[in-house]
Amino acid sequence: MCSGRIDLEFILRAFFNGQDGVFIVGCRLNECNYVTHGNYHALNVALLGKRILEYIGLNPERLNIQFMSAGDGILFAEHMNAFDSKVKELGPLGLGEGIDREELKYKIKDIERLIPYIKIAKREKLGGRLTKNEDYEGLFTKDEVEELFRDVPSYYIDPEKCQACMMCFRRCPAGAIVGGKNRIHVIDQDKCIKCGTCLEVCPPRFSAVTKLAGEPVPPPIPEEKRVIARKGKKE
C-alpha cells in the first residue's frame, strides 16, 4: 500500500485496538513514483499523530515513521529492531503512562470522531512538503494541538429559520441530522463529526445553520414542536 494512504484513522484505530506501537515505512522522500508524492502526506500525518498521542497522554515515541527503498532490507531490520526495543521499554499501551485502558479507549474514540474536523482545520500543513529534518519537530506544536481541540466548533440549526428542505439531512456524512419532510431538522451533537457540511449545503435564502465556537449549543426543540405547518395553495 502506498504510504500516501496513511490516515489518522488507521493510526488511532491501531491504538484503540490495543497495539503498543505503530511503525510506518514509506518510500524515500522525493523518490515517489507518482506525482502526488504521498509519502510527504504520510510524514505530516505521522507528525500530527505524535502530537495527538501526546495530547491524550501517550508517549509520542509509540508512533514512528521511516523512509527507505525496497532494497534496504538491512536498514529496515535495524529500524524495526530499534523500534521494537523502544516499545518494550515503554511497556504496554497506557500502563507505561499510567492511563486506565478503558479511559484511554474513550479518549481515542473521542479524537477519532473529530478526524474530519482535524483534516479541514490542518489541511494546509497536511498537504505541505517538508524539506529539512529539523523542520519535523516544529510542524505541529503542543500548543497548536491543544488549541485545535479547545476550539472545536459545533453546528446548530435555528428552528426559526429551518424550512425542512432536506439538504443537510441528505448530505450529512455521519447521519447526525434528525428530521424529515415538513419537520424541523435537529443536529445530534453526539454523532456530529464537525465537518461543516450542513453549513455549506444549507441554502443561503434560509441560512438556518450556525457555526458556534466557545459557547454551548442551544437545546433542541421538543419533538412536538418540530412539525412545519405549510400553508395550502390558493384555489
177-203 pLDDT tens trace: 999 999 999 999 999 999 999 999 999
On the question of pLDDT at 43 being above 90, the answer is yes
Q: What is the mean pLDDT of residues 8-22?
A: 96
18 with 106, same domain: the answer is yes
Percent of the chain clearing pLDDT 70 (strictly above) = 98
Give residue 39's domain range. Answer: 3-150
235 or 41: which leads in pLDDT: 41
Domain CATH for 214? 3.30.70.20
17 with 119, same domain: the answer is yes
Would 169 be classed as within a structural domain?
A: yes
146 with 165, same domain: the answer is no
Instruction: Give alpha helix (H) positions in 22-181.
Output: 38-55, 73-90, 101-112, 115-121, 123-126, 142-150, 167-171
Would 234 be classed as within a structural domain?
A: no
Report the b/e string of 166-196 with b at 16+ CB within 10 A. Answer: ebbbeebeeebbbbeeebbbbbeeeebbbbb
Q: Which range, 11-25, 118-132, 136-150, has the best average confidence (pLDDT)?
A: 11-25
**Separation between Cα atoms, residue 22 and residue 66, nearest integer Å:** 11
Tell me which of 126, 150, 174 is where a domain ends. Answer: 150
Would 146 be classed as within a structural domain?
A: yes
Q: What is the pLDDT of residue 232?
A: 63
85 forms bridges with which residues in the sheet?
none
84-99 pLDDT tens trace: 999 999 999 999 899 9
